[in-house]
């Protein structure tokens, strides 16, 4: 007797239906915008992540978030320190670990970059959407991002989490 997967196979997604080319173009456009701020992309992204997320204050967590090898993260943090944008200090409990802190200059630089990116994105949205369409788009893309994150969880966790997203 055939199982459900054999009788109802998932439809094959074709490249015409994929959002990958769109994400690539958005990523490229945002990267080009970031380059105006005079920092290599990896430094700018690390700076923004440290500025906006308290939970990434350790090098290993930041490397995991940015999908960078730990050796590369060391290079990124060295460069941020040389530029006076961040500093590493001892962990309060574990001497083997370090905490990354942005300097006042680092926070100022990150906020200027963030303000510019938000203005850039807002201008693009105004040129693309009617006001109510922008909100619907944001909600839809947020739901898609939520589901993509859930699909990266181990199978039982992903299935349990996804039941709430099927509306």
> Can you give the pLDDT at residue 92?
86
77-95: average pLDDT: 93
User: Do 148 and 118 share a structural domain?
Assistant: no
7-24: average pLDDT: 75
pLDDT category, 95, cuts 50, 70, 90?
A: confident
Q: Is residue 15, in this structure, part of any structural domain at all? A: no
Q: Note down the domain range covering 117.
A: 20-128
Predicted confidence (pLDDT) per residue in 35-46, tens digit: 999 999 999 999
User: Do 109 and 32 share a structural domain?
Assistant: yes
> Can you give the pLDDT at residue 18?
87
User: Do 100 and 37 share a structural domain?
Assistant: yes
User: Do 111 and 101 share a structural domain?
Assistant: yes
Q: Is residue 24, in this structure, part of any structural domain at all? A: yes
- Count: domains in the chain: 2
User: Do 26 and 51 share a structural domain?
Assistant: yes
User: Do 73 and 43 share a structural domain?
Assistant: yes
Q: Is residue 137, in this structure, part of any structural domain at all? A: yes
**What's the whole-number average pLDDT of the chain?**
87
109-134: average pLDDT: 95
> Can you give the pLDDT at residue 10?
64
Q: Is residue 8, in this structure, part of any structural domain at all? A: no
**Cα distance between the two ends of the chain:** 31
> Can you give the pLDDT at residue 54?
79
User: Do 115 and 140 share a structural domain?
Assistant: no
pTM of the model: 0.79
């Amino acid at each position: 007797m055939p199982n459900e997967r054999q009788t109802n196979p998932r439809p094959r997604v074709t490249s015409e239906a994929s959002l990958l080319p769109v994400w690539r173009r958005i990523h490229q456009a945002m990267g080009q915008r970031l380059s105006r701020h005079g920092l290599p992309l990896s430094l700018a992204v690390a700076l923004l992540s440290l500025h906006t997320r308290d939970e990434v204050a350790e090098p290993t967590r930041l490397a995991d978030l940015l999908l960078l090898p730990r050796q590369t993260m060391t290079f990124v943090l060295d460069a941020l320190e040389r530029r006076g944008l961040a500093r590493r200090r001892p962990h309060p409990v574990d001497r083997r670990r370090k905490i990354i802190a942005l300097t006042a200059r680092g926070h100022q630089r990150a906020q200027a970059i963030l303000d510019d990116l938000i203005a850039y994105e807002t201008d693009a949205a105004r040129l693309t959407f009617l006001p109510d369409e922008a909100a619907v788009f944001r909600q839809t893309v947020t739901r898609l991002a939520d589901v993509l994150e859930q699909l990266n969880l181990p199978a039982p966790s992903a299935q349990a989490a996804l039941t709430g997203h099927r509306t």
